[in-house]
Amino acid sequence: MSRQSIRRSIANAASRPSRRVAVLGLAAASLCAVAKPLSPASVAPDFTLRTLEGRNLRLGEQRGRVVLVNFWATWCGPCRQEMPHLNKLYEKYKASGFMLLGVNVDDDTQQAAGVASKLGVTFPVLPDLDKRVSRQYDLSAMPSTVLIDRDGRVRYLHRGYQSGYENTYERQIRELLKE
């Protein structure tokens, strides 16, 4: 089903209130089914999550900055290994128009906060308790890192972590900051 036919179905449903709920539900499911998977050059899916400090942070409000979104969990050894390197990159480039968002996928916010504190993390940590954002970004490995350019487009995807990846991240961050 194309997006155009879905939109027509939604418009037709408006004239039949008794079927509106069913048609809208099917249309929403169909839109999800035809959505393209996350890939370089695609627009990064927007999201809003609450930081550990309790304020809302929206990805869309970061337009104009280079953004690295890192999905991590406290139970993930490579995630914990990577975090200090990410923090160094954040501290080094944040004054140059760079933002790093650590999306935590644990069910226990206090545990995530404790690990982030122990590792000296200074960038925003955003608990994704309902895993909605994780599904939007189609996680297939932990950690997963997405680099987004100033226009909100995905430029680089990294699945997993091995020692030395931080050098690749830094090269890509510098490249995007120069654009």
Indicate which residues carry an active-site annotation: 76, 79
Distance CA 82, CA 164 (A): 9
How do the residues of the chain divide into helix, strand and coil, expressed in percent and rounded to 5? 45, 20, 35
Among candidate residues 129, 121, 162, the one with its CA nearest the CA of residue 145 = 162
Going from the C-alpha of 4 to that of each of 11, 26, 27, 31, 34, the distances in angstroms are 11, 14, 11, 10, 11
- The single-letter code of the amino acid at 176 is L
Could you tell me the sign of the dihedral formed by the alpha carbons of 58, 61, 62, 63, in that order?
positive
